[in-house]
A = this chain, B = another copy of it.
Amino acid sequence: MQRTDKEGAQPAERIWQDIAAVRSVSPLVHSITNYVVMNNTANAVLAAGASPIMAHAVPEVGDMVALCAATVINIGTLDPLWVEAMKVALRRADALGRPVVLDPVGAGATPYRNQVLGELLAVASPAFIRGNAGEIMTLAGIQVASKGVDSAVSSADSDGAARALSLRTGSVVSVSGPTDVITDGRRIGYVGNGHPMMTRVTGLGCTASALLGAFAAVQPDRFAAAVSAAAFLGVCGELAAAQSAGPGSLQMNLYDVMYNLEEADFVRTARVRIE
């Protein structure tokens, strides 16, 4: 943890309060997410101490939004029926003032994805948009060479795009990468934790979005919630990677580390900077 002297500094101690709050409140986090990651994001939400619900049926998705403290919408394996459910959820969350995390998986990969993202953002601005650098730059209107659901650009390139997207949508924008970048258009946060092997486990970006739902449920300052979620996953991933022989054991150890993480280890490991 590199403390800064600036106003708005995010000491690891403050982030730890959010981690502890997720554990004590155990908020219900609703997800409409992709088939690939449903199991591992549910397990991550549980390991962090919160309670996941996955539900997408149009006749109940509005009720699920109302029942839960936050909703995560992830378009990874979207299709027209699911997009309808996403719109119903966004509308209901907007009416109730519930935080929504939008994960624009594969933005830029196909015209259909871009069209759907345009439609979703037209329904209501989500509280959060979390993606990789390529996805965020695509949403910000910058042309990038897409490499499917993985990003071909670095997060360092994306600070300006994130800020522009945040200013346009009013969303807090969180960009995952070697250094995570979080901005509300005014403040900008950097989380330097993580490990390259994390890119070899499917859906850890989706996991970041799911965890953000849990932190948004306990921390009303959206920028702070997004920094906390990124720091929690980055630190846990880094500690888990240090004891893992490969991506299989990394996935398993990640849950164990999330479940057992103690304040001293978190504070010692976190590398967070706020500007």
Contact = CB atoms under 8 A, between A and B. Distances in A.
Interface of A: 28, 34-40, 42-43, 46-47, 51-60, 63-64, 67-68, 76-81, 106, 109-113, 146-150, 199-203, 244-249, 251-260
A106 B113 CA distance: 31
A247 B43 contact: yes
Interface centre among A63, A148, A256 (most CB of B within 10 A): A148
A51 B28 CA distance: 32
A59 B80 contact: yes
A46 B200 contact: yes
Contact of A256 (B28, B51, B199, B247): B247
Nearest to A256: B246
A245 B51 CA distance: 20
Nearest to A111: B63
Contacts of A200: 46-47, 259
B47 A248 contact: yes
Given A35-B35, A36-B42, A53 B248 contact: no
Given A46-B199, A56-B79, 17 more contacts: A35-B54, A42-B202, A42-B203, A43-B202, A51-B148, A57-B77, A57-B78, A57-B79, A57-B112, A63-B110, A200-B259, A244-B256, A248-B251, A248-B252, A248-B254, A248-B259, A251-B255
B77 A39 contact: no
